[in-house]
Amino acid sequence: MSASNADSPEGLPPARPGRVRVTAPRSTARRVPGRTSVTQEVAEQSAVGEVFVRSLIRSQLRLALIASAGFVLALAGCWVLVRWVPAVADWRILGVPAAWLLLGVGMYPVIGLCAWLYVRAAARNEARYRDLVEEP
């Protein structure tokens, strides 16, 4: 019998304390007098807040242009393959031209991949913005 079991009645293990949730609310943090938080700057639409919001908008626009350009390049690559490689234009799969299958069916996974990558990167941009704007 271990020492912990000897302390409890009937040799049972001692009761574990319940879970305790420890939080640190931001409202109780000391603020420097005269200093405005970035969140307040954004909410009041001041010049500093506008800089942060414009930065987020620019990063999201840049990301959208990159994702769109990647998709257009993939689509153009398929077109070039069909147009300039004569063997691809002659292929048939179950009587359907391979070019139709490539452009009609094969592009959907590319669309899905572009969308998934865009959403991941946009969420990362927004998380960086929130980290920048929120008070420590």
**Has residue 31 been placed in a domain?**
no
Question: Tokens 């031209």, residue?
Answer: 97
Q: Let me know the angle formed at the C-alpha of 14 by 10 and 20, rounded to the nearest 5 degrees.
A: 155
**Has residue 51 been placed in a domain?**
yes
Task: Give the pLDDT confidence score for residue 130 in this predicted structure.
Answer: 84
Q: How far apart are CA 89 and CA 107, in angstroms?
A: 17
| Beta-bridge partners for 97 | 92
**Has residue 3 been placed in a domain?**
no
| pTM given for the model | 0.58
**Has residue 55 been placed in a domain?**
yes
**Has residue 78 been placed in a domain?**
yes
pLDDT at 8 over 70: no
**Better pLDDT: 15 or 55:** 55
CA 73 to mean position of chain CA atoms: 23
pLDDT tens column, 15-44: 777 777 666 555 444 555 555 565 666 666
Domain with 41 in it: 37-133
**Has residue 10 been placed in a domain?**
no
Question: Tokens 């959403």, residue?
Answer: 119
pLDDT tens column, 93-133: 888 888 888 888 888 888 899 899 999 999 999 888 888 77
pLDDT mean over 68-85: 87
**Has residue 24 been placed in a domain?**
no
Task: Give the pLDDT confidence score for residue 89 in this predicted structure.
Answer: 77
State the CB neighbour count (10 A cutoff) for residue 99. 20
**Has residue 107 been placed in a domain?**
yes
The total of structural domains in the chain comes to: 1
